[in-house]
Each structure stands twice: as structure tokens, then as C-alpha cells.
Amino acid sequence: MKFRATSGQKSKTPASLLLFGLAFALLLILGAQGTAANGSGDQDPLDKELEPQAYLPLAVSYLAREWTQVGPKPADIEKFYSVAVCGNHILAGSDLGVHSRRFSSAANTAWVREQPTISAAPTVVIFHPDDCTIAYSASRGYGVYRGEFTNQGQGGWTWTRVDKDNQLTAARFVAILPSVGNSDSQVIYVAGDFGIRWLPEPPTTPQTWQSTNVNSQTTSIIADDPSFAVASVWNDGVYIRTSNAGWSPLDTSQPQDKQIYQVVVSGDMGLAGAQTGAFFKRDGNWTPIDEIGQTAFSVAWGELGWLAGLRKDGVYISMDDGLKWLPLNQGLNGVGAEDFQVRDLLGCPPAHGLCIFAATTTGIWRWGSYTAEPQGGQEP
């Protein structure tokens, strides 16, 4: 999923990346010299013995940080499929619906299962962009739900289904975006086996959702810039939103593998995670990423660079706009196991620090530090 909102039509490298890039380049030069001296230029960059050298620019202290697990993984779930953060709240979608925690909770505090009637259903959950006490979830087989948090009594979340007559039972993804032509209002989309459906505002009660021109299976809708949204239409490629109810192919060029799980586009660059690997878009063309030769379930872009979440091999990062990719896996439990998957990646909102959250088969993980109270502003 996306890291942060940006503006403009051209992908711009953050100033912080330029500094890290210099350190990164220095590390590569030193590493190349050492490799030449040892005569080992053909060694596998994923070799465990080389990993400390080829990992990330360890000279930059925060790039050497380890992943930290967020609460113990519930024993009864198979995997987490999504993660969302807002203020002091964190929500995670699993095969047993939504689970919740508060950042103020102790590290060993258990996740709370919010939707006990949902089972064996991959679930994606998001917060309302303007309200940390409102959330929406999409569960395949169970439809779309609205969650509302209250502090009354013992406090907690209440969930209500908001698709009428089981219309969106095959839902897979949910997103809230600014309305096309009126950025002051918001529309909501649900993607699923039925394609893409939408409403002119996030619902509070069950509604009949409106059709779009996409009627085939769609796995994700992601917006780097809130006004620039792309969808991954299974077996058809990357689509861009052209109106509230209209979508069209992003380019004549599409990733070679059109079985795409997630895609993010920033300006003239993009990253697609697909069944057979990941693809990077530059100069109007999508090319396979050589370092990623396995299923890429999740992608993201932001202050740190481009990220891909993989089957088995964890998280990969590029800090030079897709030219070089390296693993970012220190402390991430499960990497290397045949059944390990990184199903979602989420960057912290800019006001909350420089960090990443990952939803995986071994739990919810955080890289970097998250500040529950926003830096320099009030929580919405």
C-alpha cells in the first residue's frame, strides 16, 4: 500500500534519500573492491554469509534497524493480510476478520478479534482518512463493514455491514479517495471478483453500491497521490481512475505478468507485485526486477524508497528508483520459510515518524519508530 501522499506528475527523490544514496553508493564501491580482491564477483547476493555486507548501507544508522513484532500473533489465525494505523489505533485484517490494538498497550497485550463471525476470509482494513475512530473492511465471502470506535463504557469497536443484499460478498479491497472534480468530498471504492463498485460517500448504513466500467476481478486500489489512483485488474493489468465511475488502462505498456496483486504509481514510475515477481515502470515501460523472482504480494513507495513484500524472501527495498534492490529483513521472523508471506506493506503517516508496517504470516511487524501522537499537529 502507499506510504504518503505526494503531488506533481514526476517522481521526485526526497532530500533524505540523496544523503542515504551517497552512503549507499560508497558502500557499493567498497563492497565491489572487496569482492574484486576476493575473486568472488559471481556470488549470490542472497547468500547468508554475504548478507551483512550487501544488506543495506549500515553506515546510515537507521537503515540497520530491526523489525519489531507488534503484539503476539493470535494462535488461531493463519496469516495477516493487511495493516492500518491511525493515531493510537492499529487495525489488522486476517483470515479471521479484523483484529485491533492500541499503541499505548503493553508489548505483550493480545490482539482483539473484532469480527468473530468471520472465518477463512482474507480481510483488508483501512481507516477513514479524516477520522481515526472510523474504519472500513472488506472480507472475501462476507462483504464490506464499517467500524466505529467509542470510549463509552469499556470502549471498543462496533462493526456494521454496509453492502445491501450481500451485493459485495466477493469483496477483496476497500479504498477511500477524493472525489474526481471535487477534492473536498470523498468517495469509497470496493474491489473484488465483481470488479470495482463505488459510492459517492463512505456509508454508515447498508447501501446498494454503484457499478463502474470495470467488471472483472480486481485485487487492489492504491493511490500514491490521493487524486491519482491505480487498480490492479487481474489478468488485464494496471488501470487508472479517470472519473468517479470510470477506469482505463494506465498505458499501452503493461507488466508481462498481468496477475497483479498490488500496484503503486508515482509520477512516471511504478511498481507492480505479481504472481511471478515484481515489475518496475520507467520511461513508459514495465520491466521485471531481476532480484525478485518470486511472488510479490505487496508494494509501497515513500520516504525510504520503493518496497516489495514477497513470498518466502521477505521485504526488498530500492532507494535509487528501482535500479538496485536489497533485502530489508533484519529481525523479521519467518523469512526463508516456504510458507512465509508479506501480504501488505504500509508506511507511517508523515507526522508519525519514519517507519513501515508489514502484515505477514508470522504477525504484524514494525520497522522504525512510530509516534502515536502526531509530530507538529493535532490528531484528526
For the stretch 197-208, pLDDT in tens is: 999 999 999 999
Q: Average pLDDT of 278-297?
A: 96
For the stretch 261-283, pLDDT in tens is: 999 999 899 999 999 999 999 99
Q: Average pLDDT of 234-254?
A: 96
Model pLDDT, residue 63 = 58
Domains of the chain in sequence order: 1-7+19-25+52-69+251-367 (2.130.10.10)
Residues 240, 245, 251: CA angle, nearest 5 degrees: 20
Model pLDDT, residue 227 = 75
Q: Are 207 and 166 in contact (CB under 8 A)?
A: no
Pick the more confident residue, 32 or 246. 246
* Mean pLDDT, the chain, integer: 85
26 pLDDT higher than 50: no
For the stretch 84-94, pLDDT in tens is: 999 999 999 99
Model pLDDT, residue 13 = 44
Report the C-alpha gap between 105 and 149 in whole angstroms. Answer: 16
Q: Average pLDDT of 111-122?
A: 96
35 pLDDT higher than 90: no
Model confidence at 374, pLDDT cuts 50, 70, 90, reads: low
27 pLDDT higher than 50: no
For the chain, give the percent of residues with pLDDT over 90.
Answer: 71
289 pLDDT higher than 50: yes
Q: Average pLDDT of 228-241?
A: 97
Model pLDDT, residue 18 = 44
Model pLDDT, residue 151 = 84
302 pLDDT higher than 60: yes
For the stretch 48-58, pLDDT in tens is: 333 434 444 43
Model confidence at 1, pLDDT cuts 50, 70, 90, reads: low
